[in-house]
Amino acid sequence: MYRMLAFLFAVGFGIAAAAGWPAALSAGTDGAQAQVPGWLTPYRDNAQRLISAATADQFGWDRLAELTDTYGARLTGSDNLTRAIAWAVETMKKDGLERVRTEKVMAPRWVRGQESLEIIDPPHHVIPMLGLGGSVATPPEGIEADVMVVSTMDELQRRSAEAKGRIVLFDVPYTDYGETVAYRSGGARAAARHGAVGMLLRSVGPMGLRTTHTGGMAYGDDAPKIPAAAISVEDSQRIHRMVNRGRTVRVRLKMEARFEPDVESANVIGELVGRERPDEIVLVGCHFDSWDPGTGASDDAVGCVVTWEGMRLMKKLGIQPRRTVRVVLFTNEENGLRGGTAYRDAHAAEAENHILAIESDSGVFAPARLAFSGSESARRIIADIGTLLAGIDMQSIGPGGGGADIGPIAQLGRVPMMAYSGDSMKYFTIHHTPADTVERILPAEVSKAAASLAVMTYVVAEMPERLPK
């Protein structure tokens, strides 16, 4: 299984490279060191110590496996997430992080319940499905209806008269996540406006092994709320082919999905308190919740492990930077973003004193990159710091830094943002599916991310001047 995915991932890599992201410059360690600007000389030894410590073993991967094996999927409001939060607090304390604490967040609780989808004519097939996050239930006996297949919103519009009383299947080929996910978010609402009684979605992702992809969706006030679920690419195409041959495909969809009252959750915070400027904060973060298939290893347990690892390594090596470094494991990114907004509200008074905010929420699959968003003067400094990462081929800093969870505080405090992003083809192949497990991720990919984030965080927290806004 893994070899198969590794092969598919290798194909993905080829496509991503062809899509134009510049490959990192391949400078050897000796050549690269000559290019490090002089102002970074005081940081070179510690940067090298952090890189050596992060890449010496597979501590990060082992911690990722421990977290995801033990607690599994961590949907907001689940017992798994609550217990994983308690584990994170205890484990951060054992690492020697300072001021380890939780901050309460009230968050939505959506419960999937039992669900199923059967083709009942032509002859009976049960097919894999996943209700979309936020969907309503069907009646207990399910909804039985003929399927209408469309490939675009325009086609639905054009064939509007056929939608009434049907379940609309959006068999939409994947282009990129931002574009294709619009059908997951808005498909049910659009189908309901034309009189459909249910919505099915071809799973959003570049490829699958009959995997199903869940994720958030929204209803509007202009149409009834109809149940919505994803099916695999293979089953979507199969139904589409049958319909194209003139067959009527009839299905029965059963879902118990529902919202329950908001529940108490929490952001987990750990720090290395700045030795000279404790009030100035370099924030690193991730989200600790996940969707419920798989174990949320890539989205986003690994982001939490690698941001936290940088701080564990600094502590272990006795590096206490001038400014405070703060890791936040945000709750409820996937279906509410309440962790990110609660952090902004609780820390509004110190928003301006956030120097830089870094998020890792796009996996760590090779080839990974660091990205920055901020002023040109800040970008030049970050690009200089990147030269310290030449030895692990991470020196090239691209555009587009940011993250959902750090966004609210960064916007309030006009804080420059960075992201650590893995290869998107690999990331979105398993994203929000049962295949998002630790087996997909290599120990070296985790170590490289931890090393990169540790060095970047350390220098920005240590350099005498604040990173400019």
Give me the least distance between CB of 295 and Zn ion, in Å please.
13
| Whole-number Å distance between alpha carbons of 376 and 457 | 19
| Whole-number Å distance between alpha carbons of 374 and 322 | 22
- The answer to the question of residue 436 lying near Zn ion (CB under 5 A) is no
Catalytic site includes residue 333: yes
- The answer to the question of residue 300 lying near Zn ion (CB under 5 A) is yes
**Subset of 374-433 contacting Zn ion (CB under 5 A):** none
Letter for the amino acid at 91?
A: T
| Region of 140-148, 296-304, 366-374, 385-393 interacting with Zn ion (CB under 5 A) | 296-304
* C-beta of residue 361 within 8 angstroms of C-beta of residue 287: yes
| Region of 3-11, 57-65, 127-135, 293-301 interacting with Zn ion (CB under 5 A) | 293-301
* C-beta of residue 224 within 8 angstroms of C-beta of residue 195: no
| Region of 47-55, 216-224, 360-368, 444-452 interacting with Zn ion (CB under 5 A) | 360-368
Mutual angle of helices 302-316 and 41-55, in 10-degree steps: 120
Give me the least distance between CB of 409 and Zn ion, in Å please.
17
| Alpha carbon 339 to its chain's center | 14
Determine the 3-state secondary structure of 305 from DSSP.
Answer: helix
**Subset of 46-65 contacting Zn ion (CB under 5 A):** none
Give me the least distance between CB of 297 and Zn ion, in Å please.
11
| Whole-number Å distance between alpha carbons of 392 and 448 | 7
**Token pair for residue 124?**
């009976």
Q: Which is nearer to Zn ion, 361 or 423 (CB)?
A: 361
* Buried/exposed code over 409-419 (b: 16+ C-beta within 10 A; e: otherwise): bbeebebbbbb
Give me the least distance between CB of 291 and Zn ion, in Å please.
9
| Whole-number Å distance between alpha carbons of 448 and 128 | 36
Q: Respond yes or no on whether the N-terminal peptide bond of residue 122 is cis (omega within 30° of 0).
A: yes
| Whole-number Å distance between alpha carbons of 378 and 460 | 10
* Buried/exposed code over 244-259 (b: 16+ C-beta within 10 A; e: otherwise): eeeeebbbbbbbebee
Q: How many residues bind Zn ion (CB under 5 A)?
A: 3
| Region of 25-33, 50-58, 107-115, 361-369 interacting with Zn ion (CB under 5 A) | 361-369
Closest CA to 279 of 238, 244, 322: 322
| Region of 60-68, 233-241, 262-270, 355-363 interacting with Zn ion (CB under 5 A) | 355-363
Among 115, 280, 299, 436, contact with Zn ion (rule: CB under 5 A): 299
Closest CA to 263 of 172, 333, 309, 332: 332
Q: Which of 115, 309, 333, 462 is catalytic?
A: 333
Letter for the amino acid at 354?
A: H
Q: Which is nearer to Zn ion, 392 or 417 (CB)?
A: 417
Give me the least distance between CB of 300 and Zn ion, in Å please.
4
Among 361, 393, 436, 462, contact with Zn ion (rule: CB under 5 A): 361
Q: Which is nearer to Zn ion, 43 or 428 (CB)?
A: 428
Q: Which is nearer to Zn ion, 116 or 341 (CB)?
A: 341
Give me the least distance between CB of 334 and Zn ion, in Å please.
7
Give me the least distance between CB of 446 and Zn ion, in Å please.
16
Look up residue 467 and give its DSSP letter.
P
- Which positions are annotated as active-site residues? 333
Binding site for Zn ion (CB under 5 A): 299-300, 361
